[in-house]
């Protein structure tokens, strides 16, 4: 399938829906991801991200919806889709008493790959794991475990990667290295859909999709999402500003108050009321009040607060 701009769509589904008994876990979601792009999939825990990913890769049957994944009907050709998708789960699911190489060679044989030893050697080199290939998986740090899991996803040369919170619990440097690898894969034409709770990771994506309570709330580039939020944010900086939080909370025009380092972020949709709430603090000694662009975190907290 192709998008309006002529881009080939790796994922093109409409009305994706899943129920578990009386619970509507995914509520008629539309997703169209162009080939070769990196899309961030965001939302709080329990919002339906993992369920959506599992339906796209054929591990879970959708109750409703139509469309394609890699040009194949995601409802009737799930087995063919699985052979072209690399799916990385939240939980590390490899054998900890086997080495990295042994784990990957086993996975390669499960995929029925010709000459699995050569393919594993190539993948180890591609992901910087050659020097650790004899190390037991159980001895690896969280970051190296995730790199190994990514290697396992890449063994069969997939066209699409579905990554479910791949860097949860990983230290900042390992997260940065992981994302550099993701973008290197994307530059070679691989499409990536990655769920994450980290705002800095979302900002690395070509587009983001935010779902809440199973419904798609907003999608677009980071700049588009921030601009369309209608949110205004001011920063209060200076001595003891954190003590102003309680006084500001609940004032007309103030929808959210939060700490960012030593500063206080105050956000709202009604600019006039928000400025009126902040006026008493503008002339206080040692305190500055300045407008700033809303952050992605400001926008998502606002969406969650509105949903409550």
pLDDT of 121-142, one tens digit each? 999 998 889 999 999 999 998 8
**How many whole angstroms separate alpha carbon 141 and alpha carbon 31?**
34
Residue 4 pLDDT > 60: no
pLDDT band at 262 (very low <50, low <70, confident <90, very high): confident
**How many whole angstroms separate alpha carbon 241 and alpha carbon 222?**
29
Class of domain 9-226: alpha beta
Residue 261 pLDDT > 80: no
**How many whole angstroms separate alpha carbon 163 and alpha carbon 152?**
12
Sequence ranges of the chain with CATH classification 3.40.50.300: 9-226
102's enclosing H/E stretch is helix 100-110
Task: For the chain, give the mean pLDDT.
Answer: 90
Residues 6+ apart with CB under 8 A from 36: 10, 186, 189, 190, 191
Q: What percent of the chain has pLDDT over 70?
A: 97
Average pLDDT over every residue of 249-264: 88
Sequence ranges of the chain with CATH classification 3.30.70.330: 231-307
pLDDT in tens, 100-124: 999 999 999 988 898 999 999 999 9
Pick the residue with more confidence: 302 or 266?
266
Q: Are strands 287-292 and 232-238 parallel, antiparallel or unpaired?
A: antiparallel
pLDDT band at 34 (very low <50, low <70, confident <90, very high): very high
| Direct distance between the N- and C-terminal alpha carbons of the chain, in angstroms, rounded to an integer | 37
Q: Where are the beta strands (DSSP E) in 47-190?
A: 64-69, 72-73, 85-88, 160-164
CB of 61 closer than 8 Å to CB of 55: yes
pLDDT of residue 242: 81
Total count of residues recorded for the chain = 308
pLDDT band at 177 (very low <50, low <70, confident <90, very high): confident
**How many whole angstroms separate alpha carbon 239 and alpha carbon 281?**
12
Rg of the Cα atoms in the chain:
22
SS3 84: coil
Residue 2 pLDDT > 70: no
Which of the listed CATH numbers 3.40.50.300, 3.10.580.10, 2.60.15.10, 3.30.70.330 matches domain 231-307? 3.30.70.330
Q: In the structure encoding, which two tokens stand for residue 205, read together?
A: 């994506």
User: Per residue in 71-98, is it b (16+ CB within 10 Å) or e — as a string?
Assistant: bbebbeebeebbebbbbbbeeeebeeee
Please state whether 58 falls in left (phi above 0), alpha (psi between -120 and 50) or beta. left
Q: What percent of the chain has pLDDT over 90?
A: 56
Q: In the structure encoding, which two tokens stand for residue 236, read together?
A: 């209060």
pLDDT of residue 27: 95
CA 254, 260, 264, 269: dihedral to nearest 10 degrees? -20
pLDDT of residue 233: 94
User: Per residue in 142-172, is it b (16+ CB within 10 Å) or e — as a string?
Assistant: ebbbbbbbbbbbbbbebbbbbbbbbbeebee
pLDDT in tens, 283-300: 888 889 999 999 888 888
pLDDT in tens, 131-170: 999 999 999 988 899 889 999 999 999 999 999 988 887 8
pLDDT in tens, 60-101: 999 999 999 999 999 999 999 989 999 988 888 899 999 999
Average pLDDT over every residue of 31-37: 94
């Amino acid at each position: 399938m192709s998008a309006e701009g002529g881009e080939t769509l790796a994922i093109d589904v409409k009305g994706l829906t899943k129920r578990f008994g009386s619970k509507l876990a995914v509520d008629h979601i539309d997703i169209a991801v162009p080939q070769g792009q990196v899309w961030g999939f965001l939302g709080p825990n329990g919002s339906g991200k993992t369920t959506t990913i599992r339906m796209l890769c054929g591990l879970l049957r959708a109750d409703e919806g139509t469309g394609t994944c890699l040009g194949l009907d995601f409802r009737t050709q799930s087995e063919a889709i699985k052979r072209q998708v690399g799916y990385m789960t939240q939980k590390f699911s490899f054998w900890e008493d086997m080495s990295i190489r042994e784990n990957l060679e086993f996975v390669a044989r499960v995929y029925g790959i010709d000459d699995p030893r050569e393919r594993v050697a190539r993948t180890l080199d591609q992901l910087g794991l050659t020097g650790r290939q004899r190390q037991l998986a159980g001895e690896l740090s969280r970051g190296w475990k995730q790199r190994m899991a990514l290697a396992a996803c890449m063994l069969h040369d997939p066209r699409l990667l579905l990554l479910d919170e791949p860097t949860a619990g990983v230290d900042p440097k390992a997260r940065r290295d992981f994302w550099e690898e993701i973008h290197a894969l994307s530059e070679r034409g691989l499409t990536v859909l990655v769920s994450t709770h980290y705002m800095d990771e979302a900002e690395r994506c070509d587009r983001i999709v935010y779902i809440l309570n199973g419904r798609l709330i907003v999608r677009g580039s980071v700049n588009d999402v921030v601009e369309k939020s209608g949110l205004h944010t001011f920063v209060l900086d200076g001595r003891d500003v954190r003590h102003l939080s309680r006084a500001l909370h609940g004032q007309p025009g103030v929808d959210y108050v939060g700490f960012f380092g030593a500063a206080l972020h105050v956000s709202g949709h009604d600019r006039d009321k928000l400025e009126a709430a902040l006026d008493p603090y503008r002339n206080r000694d040692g305190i500055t009040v300045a407008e700033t662009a809303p952050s992605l975190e400001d926008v998502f907290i606002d969406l969650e607060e509105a949903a409550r």
